[in-house]
């Protein structure tokens, strides 16, 4: 049975897709069988890995029941990917029948034995797609940028997590809050770090010791259809993401070997 980790924050621009790509790449480099699932209607995960997301079947077709999940899996350098595109934006209105919170979990159960790890990239919203990701997951990684509005987004996730735990998935664990684009020399970054620690305590988790430093390589990698770990393996962010993966392995032991 695979470990399922969702990358989540209701605010956009905090590095969710970069984090998902990097964890997939790092696990793949360790020899793990990995599956990335894009639940964001923007389709960023597949796009950033060089996939043609406009001319293929997607997770939307799977959740509608018109395709099996096996039929939509696409290979990439970072492992197998279940892509998404703008059609998924209809999910909130279309997926309104009882049990809709379990759609993703039910479909993932068909392939979980084929993978060691499943990484889910979530939309910048707290909606039915995000709830599906939480219901299907063992753990959450919450990336945030070192800014006040990003911090607010993290604080608002708590209610959704509590609801999912009470009604759908009692095993759900917040693995940690991840600071992206971090610069220790900036006062605001240090202040946000202190406030993030307070929010982490409310979520019964911690702020990861690893901070992902800013670099132009992170912005350049998607243009080449790659993760920063494959595009610029010697860059500071690539080293940071490898350290994050080791921290997850060491601290939380979600069946991850390292």
> What are 70-83's pLDDT values in tens digits?
999 999 999 999 99
User: When comparing pLDDT for 98 and 149, which is higher?
Assistant: 98
CA pair distance 134, 126, nearest whole angstrom: 10
CA pair distance 45, 23, nearest whole angstrom: 12
Q: Check whether 256 has a pLDDT greater than 50.
A: no
**What top-level class would CATH report for the domain 3-248?**
alpha beta
Percent of the chain at pLDDT > 90 equals 72
CA pair distance 128, 185, nearest whole angstrom: 39
pLDDT-based confidence at residue 154 (cuts at 50, 70, 90): confident
**Strand 3-7 to 173-179 pairing:** unpaired
Q: Which pLDDT does position 59 carry in this prediction? A: 97
Q: Which pLDDT does position 103 carry in this prediction? A: 97
Give the residue-averaged pLDDT of 232-257.
82
CA pair distance 25, 48, nearest whole angstrom: 12
Give the residue-averaged pLDDT of 192-214.
89
Q: Which pLDDT does position 208 carry in this prediction? A: 95
Q: Please state the pTM of the whole predicted model.
A: 0.93
Give the residue-averaged pLDDT of 213-232.
92
Residues 6+ apart with CB under 8 A from 39: 59, 84, 88, 104, 120, 121, 122, 123, 129, 130, 132, 133
Nearest to 142 by CA among 172, 102, 183, 166: 172
CB-facing half-sphere around the CA of 72: CA atoms within 13 A: 28
Q: Check whether 204 has a pLDDT greater than 80.
A: yes
Q: Check whether 33 has a pLDDT greater than 70.
A: yes
Domain ranges within the chain, ordered by starting residue: 3-248
Q: Check whether 67 has a pLDDT greater than 90.
A: yes
Q: Count CB atoms within 10 A of the CB of residue 214.
A: 16
């Amino acid at each position: 049975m695979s470990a399922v980790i969702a990358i989540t924050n209701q605010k956009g621009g905090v590095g969710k897709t970069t984090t998902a790509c990097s964890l997939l790449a790092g696990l793949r480099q360790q020899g793990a069988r990995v599956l990335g699932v894009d639940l964001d209607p923007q389709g960023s995960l597949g796009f950033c890995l060089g996939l043609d997301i406009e001319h293929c079947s997607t997770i939307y077709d799977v959740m509608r029941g018109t395709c099996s999940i096996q039929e939509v899996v696409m290979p990439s350098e970072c492992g197998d990917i279940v892509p998404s595109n703008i059609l998924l934006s209809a999910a909130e209105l279309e997926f309104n029948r009882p049990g809709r919170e379990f759609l993703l979990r039910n479909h993932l159960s068909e392939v979980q034995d084929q993978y060691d790890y499943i990484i889910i990239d979530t939309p910048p919203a707290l909606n039915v797609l995000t709830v599906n990701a939480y219901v299907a997951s063992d753990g959450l990684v919450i990336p945030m940028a070192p800014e006040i509005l990003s911090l607010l987004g993290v604080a608002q996730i708590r209610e959704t997590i509590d609801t999912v735990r009470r009604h759908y998935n009692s095993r759900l664990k917040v693995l940690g809050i991840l600071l992206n684009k971090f610069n220790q020399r900036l006062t605001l970054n240090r202040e946000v770090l202190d406030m993030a620690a307070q929010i982490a305590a409310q979520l019964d988790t911690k702020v990861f010791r690893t901070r992902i430093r800013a670099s132009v390589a992170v912005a350049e990698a998607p243009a080449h259809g790659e993760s920063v770990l494959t595009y610029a393996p010697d860059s500071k962010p690539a080293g940071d993401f490898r350290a994050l993966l080791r921290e997850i392995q060491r601290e939380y032991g979600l069946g991850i070997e390292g």
